Amino acid sequence: MAVQPPLPPPDFSGLPPWAPQNPIEANRSVLFAPPLMMPDGTWGLTLNLDYSSAIELYGYGPRSMTLDAELGRFQVWLTRRIGERWFAFGQVQIQGAYDGYMDRFINWYHSVLGVHYAARDLRPINKYKYEIAYGNGQVLRYGPVDLGIGDSRVGFGRMLGQHAQVLLVLGLPTSTAPGYRAGTLQTGLIVTGEAPLLPWLTISGSLGLGFTPRTGSLAALENVFFLSFSGGPRVRLSWRNFLYGNIFVQTPPFHDTSLKPMDDVDFTIDFGWMFRIDPRTELWVGIVEDPYPDGPALDVAFRIGLRTAF
């Protein structure tokens, strides 16, 4: 039997990076959905802006949680090639949480899609609230957050051939905003693969394993080990234009709270359009949706980003 030659590397890269933005989840796990991160040149740079709406309103006996906010996040990712197969990377972010101004637009947007969020009927329009009641009259309340530094990521990666990589990720507790910080060092190991199935189609996916120590008032209810999966296609329409889709799934951040946004899995869909400016530079515009509203995935997020190499 003839040996099939190895698949050539695609002439376009994979999917945009996505990391959970809901603080209930992001505070507990450093895992995310990465593309292949080895830069074409010596350096790689990714800029990404996510603006999202969160609406979580659940209660069970003396326990309840409400997260009604608009969340902004601007991330800068920098990657440095340090050998034929090895690279290092770092990510810093600016974040904020507000009353917002998009509730009416989001209600209209979801009505067009035929989606109804009952929690939005029970909350005032554009009014921030983030509160967790966890029994015996104990309540955590977190106020709005002005723009400030969020938690950061650093790590190393190694290419496994042309179509796969493994990342060691450390989450650094650089945020000082109550309710929007991990408060401890986080670790993760993520394997990413990419398959150019056709000249116009590439499938990307990742598997992650993470660990975050227990910390804070809810330590007894926190999970410490996390698993993540991501995967989806990128479809070439022309040399410059692409469509993409990506599913992200992660195990629950908490256990035994009886509150679904804390005890259930994250199931997120990120989809949108990508535009190649030149062989090393591209931008994207996307929407992140929550097809499983009971979990910690956000109601909706709007994204714009750019990545390049030099």
Q: Is 54 exposed, middle or buried (0-12, 13-18, 19+ CB in 10 A)?
A: buried
Count CB atoms within 10 A of the CB of residue 306.
16
Q: How far apart are CA 26 and CA 305, in angstroms?
A: 20
- Considering only CA atoms, give the Rg of the chain: 20
Whether 260 contacts 295, CB under 8 Å: yes
For the chain, give me the number of helices (H) and strands (E)?
4, 15
Residue 12, classified by CB atoms within 10 Å of its CB into exposed (0-12), middle (13-18) or buried (19+), is middle
What is residue 111's predicted lDDT score, i.e. its pLDDT? 82
**44 CB-near residues (< 8 Å, 6+ apart):** 37, 38, 77, 78, 79, 80, 81, 89, 307, 308, 309
State the Cα angle at 28 between 26 and 30, rounded to 5°. 65
- Phi/psi-derived region of residue 280, left when phi > 0, alpha when psi is between -120 and 50, beta in every other case: alpha
Question: 228-271, pLDDT tens digit by residue?
Answer: 999 999 999 998 999 999 999 999 999 999 999 999 999 999 99
Residues 255/263, Cβ–Cβ less than 8 Å: yes
Listed residue (61, 71, 69, 72) closest to 123, CA to CA: 69
pTM: 0.93
Kindly indicate the confidence band of residue 113, based on its pLDDT and cuts at 50, 70 and 90.
Answer: confident
> Tens of pLDDT along 29-66?
999 999 999 998 899 999 999 999 999 888 888 899 99
For the residues 211-222, what does the mean pLDDT come to?
95
Which residues sit opposite 252 in a β-bridge? none
Look at residue 286 and give its three-state secondary structure. strand
Find out whether 239 and 205 touch, Cβ atoms under 8 Å.
no
Phi, psi angles (nearest 5°) of residue 24: -55, -35
- How high is the mean pLDDT of the chain? 92
Residue listed under structure tokens 């290092």? 88
What's the number of CA atoms in the CB half-sphere (13 Å) around residue 8?
A: 6
Distance, CA of 58 to CA of 65 (rounded, Å)? 5
Which of 113-127, 161-175, 190-204 is the least confident region?
113-127
What is the number of other CB atoms lying within 10 angstroms of the CB of residue 303? 20
Give one DSSP letter per residue of 136-153, joined into a string: TT-EEE---EEEEE--EE
